[in-house]
């Protein structure tokens, strides 16, 4: 595939009768799965467990009517101890309401086409709309530290608490 046309991307609520995630490959190029997305899809979606959760809202991303990615959102909180050092002094409460992306999976064949960027923009817009009706101060999700350092921080202004761990929680304040 040469390139994708962003206007052909569609964000839809997951429908287990229509949307099939079983053919997607969520592993990394080296075969690893640091965020356990492949395992999660095989266990949760194959048994229909995820469909029954009232707290989660599952979305699929379609390109030309083909499912290429999914992500799961829910309301949650972010605690003060998860903030970067330069944010701790600016925040006075301990917990803040947040839109949490619990899982994100992009098919290996559609990576490096900014699908993650479009998912983040969709979620940030949804968080802003939510914040107009009820408190939603942050958008948060877990990712690898290398993606946070290479992409989410410098390109999309996400922050995270510096740790030695391979996975980090990243966040962005909703304005």
Query: Reading across the β-sheet that carries 138-144, which strands appear in turn?
Result: 9-13, 57-63, 66-79, 95-106, 138-144, 167-173, 159-160
Residues in the chain: 175
CA-based max dimension of the chain: 48
For 24-61, the pLDDT digits (tens) are: 888 888 888 878 788 778 777 765 555 555 678 899 99
Provide the whole-model pTM: 0.85
pLDDT given for residue 111 in this prediction: 87
Q: Please state, in angstroms and rounded to a whole number, the distance separating the CA atoms of residues 79 and 120.
A: 21
Distance CA 144, CA 153 (A): 12
Spell out the domains of the chain, with CATH numbers in brackets. 6-173 (3.40.630.30)
Residue 4 has pLDDT above 90, yes or no: no
């Amino acid at each position: 595939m040469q390139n994708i046309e962003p206007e052909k991307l569609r964000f839809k609520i997951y429908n287990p009768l229509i949307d099939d995630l079983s053919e997607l490959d969520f592993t990394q190029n080296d075969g690893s799965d640091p965020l356990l997305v492949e395992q999660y899809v095989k266990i949760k979606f194959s048994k229909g467990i995820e469909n029954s959760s009232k707290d989660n809202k599952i979305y699929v991303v379609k390109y030309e009517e083909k499912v290429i990615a999914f992500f799961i959102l829910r309301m949650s909180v972010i605690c003060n101890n998860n903030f970067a050092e330069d944010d701790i002094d600016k925040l006075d409460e301990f917990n803040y309401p947040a839109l949490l992306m619990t899982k994100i999976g992009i098919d290996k064949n559609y990576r490096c086409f900014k699908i993650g960027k479009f998912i983040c923009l969709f979620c940030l817009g949804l968080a802003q709309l939510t914040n107009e009706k009820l408190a939603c101060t942050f958008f948060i999700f877990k990712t690898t530290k290398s993606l946070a350092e290479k992409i989410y921080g410098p390109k999309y202004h996400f922050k995270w608490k510096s740790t030695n761990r391979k996975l980090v929680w990243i966040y962005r304040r909703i304005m």
